[in-house]
Structure 1
Amino acid sequence: MTGDAGADPERMLALSYARPEGRHALQALLALDDALALLLRTTREPALGQMRLAWWREALARLDQSPAPAEPVLTALEREVMPKGVSGASLVPIVHGWEVLIEEEVLDPDALRRFAEGRGHLFVAAGAAMGAGPGDPLAEAGQGWALADLSRNLRGSGEADIARAIAIPLLDTAAARRWSRNGRALGALAHLARLDLRVPEGTPSRTGAPHRVGRLLWHRLTGR
């Protein structure tokens, strides 16, 4: 699942499409997503995973009442995201989305949609912090992005197929719209996810391939 942005040149290119103040907010939110992904990758006991996710839920909600503790992800959210009108409580659904992967033994369509709605809320929060336009398809893009990433990390081919099947129409919707200038970085991430879905299962995506970079540059110029 999604990892360190510094190791992903395409993600860095997408981030460069945001205005500086919006870029910092998006980086902080993606760092939250990375931290939650790492938590799941490094937790083998479901009960322990639920306890650790509960800590994140409570810590995010507490940002609305008290200063962030000395934890880099939380301090970045407090500094870069909350001053733009995004509450800590509004970020809790992102944790709920990741929690589905621990709670459910089988990821059926309902579970995958709940995962996508929760994790994909990151795009909604980022859009609010970045001043994205009212016509930007934030929910569809976020949910499709979340599922496309998950599908490449699921062991069961059946679950991966379902995740891709749900993600494709969501990302097609996101790609069909013209994104606002302030939302364009999120649109670029959605385009990358859509390109990833076209890569055959089991084949690494060709990060930085000319056609991928060209697609991002066209999006930067036109919003499409």
Structure 2
Amino acid sequence: MTTSPPSQPASTEDLLVETLPTVSRLALAYAPRPARMQTLALLALDTRLAGLLRNSREPMLAQLRLSWWRESLGQPADKWPEGEPLLAALRTWNGHHGGLVSLVNGWEALTGAAPLPETALEAMAQGRAAAFATLAQALDCNADLRIVQRLARSWALADLAMRLGHESERNAARALALADRARGLRVPRALRPLQVLHALAARRLDKGEDAATSPAAVLAAMRIGLLGR
């Protein structure tokens, strides 16, 4: 009787990729190898924080969980506990991870009572924009920070318009997204996943929920991911 060889433990990268939604995995596919782990860490953190809100019955509980991430990101990486794959991935940011507190603050802005005011939606968009600007710094793309923030904010608003459950919140996010479209902006290849996320979110905003993963969208993502436009 033959036995199968023991399976290898999943790597940090594999564990984190499995947590990502389809659109984020599609965008990550176009990260150059030197930028892949840093990009994965940001996308995985954004996904984790979204899950904290989604799976917390009370806003106070979500805020407590978010505060753990705020405190952790405010510490030097050598103070972090071992065994958390996401923190392990964030060590590749070489000390830039403190800028991701803005992302935690952005998600916390969504823990208020419904319907959320426009200021909360704006805070969320700004938090995501600042997080991608921090990624740009971690990848030595400092010359492109304004473009990165502009594109990330536009993506964040379009994504929120599809993500929010309350009708008036969705309508408000949609109005903000339509008023803040970022057209014709290009970022360095290291940040190509952001370009893909933005294009797919804009397509979804225009054409509906399924547009982000339709065959046409996958082809569009491939073109943008490879060519940047």
Same fold, judged at TM 0.5 (above): yes
Q: Check if 1:4 corresponds to 2:13.
A: no
Name the aligned partner's letter for residue 207 of structure 2: V
2:222 is aligned, of 214, 217, 224, to: 217
Structure 1 residue runs of 5 or longer lacking an equivalent are none
Scaled by the length of structure 1, the TM-score of the pair is 0.83
Mapped to 1, the partners of 2:139 and 2:113 lie a distance apart of 33
**Count of residue correspondences:** 211
Tell me what 2:43 maps to: 30
**Secondary structure of 2:40's match?**
helix
Which is worse superposed, 63-72 or 116-125? 63-72
Per the alignment, residue 143 of structure 1 pairs with 153
Give per-residue Cα distances to partners, 1:94-123, cap 9 Å, x unaligned.
100000111354322222101111133221
From 127, 132, 149, the equivalent of 1:123 is 132
Q: Scaled by the length of structure 2, what TM-score is found?
A: 0.81
Please list every run of at least 4 consecutive aligned residues from structure 1 whose deviation after the TM superposition is greater than 6 angstroms: none
CA deviation vs aligned residue, 1:143-200 (integer Å, no higher than 9, x gap): 2222222222322222101111212343x32x41233222222111111111111134
| Paired residue secondary structure (1:179) | coil
CA 1:147–1:72 in structure 2 vs 1: closer, same or farther (change >3 Å)? same
Contact 2:59 2:111 in 1 (8 A): yes
Letter in 2 for 1:31: A
Determine if contact 1:94/1:121 at 8 Å carries over to the other structure.
yes
Contact 1:123 1:141 survives alignment (8 Å): no
**Distance change in 2, residues 1:17/1:131 (3 Å):** farther
* 1:40 to 2:50 alignment: no
Using the TM superposition, give the Cα deviation of residue 65 of structure 1 relative to its aligned residue in structure 2, in angstroms: 5.9
2:116, 2:169 within 8 Å by CA — same for their partners in 1? yes
Larger Rg: 2
1:63 aligns with 2:63: no
Is 1:185 the equivalent of 2:193? yes
Secondary structure of the 1:189 match is helix
Q: Which has the higher helix share?
A: 2
Q: Does residue 156 in structure 1 map to residue 166 in structure 2?
A: yes
Question: CA distance change for structure 1 residues 209 and 192 in 2, over 3 Å: closer, same or farther?
Answer: same
8 Å CA contact 1:100, 1:114 repeated in 2:
yes
2:175 is equivalent to residue 165 of structure 1: yes
Query: Could you give the per-residue CA deviations for residues 17-66 of structure 1, whole angstroms, max 9, x where no partner exists?
Result: 22112011100111111111111011111222211111110011113562
- In structure 2, the CA distance between the partners of 1:211 and 1:25, relative to structure 1 (3 Å rule), is same
Q: Is 1:4–1:34's contact at 8 Å kept on the other side of the alignment? A: yes
1:120, 1:146 within 8 Å by CA — same for their partners in 2?
Answer: yes
Of 116, 123, 126, 1:114 maps to: 123
Percent identity over the alignment is: 36
CA contact (8 A) 1:104 1:111 kept: no
* RMSD of Structure 2 on Structure 1 (CA): 2.3
Aligned to 2:109: 100
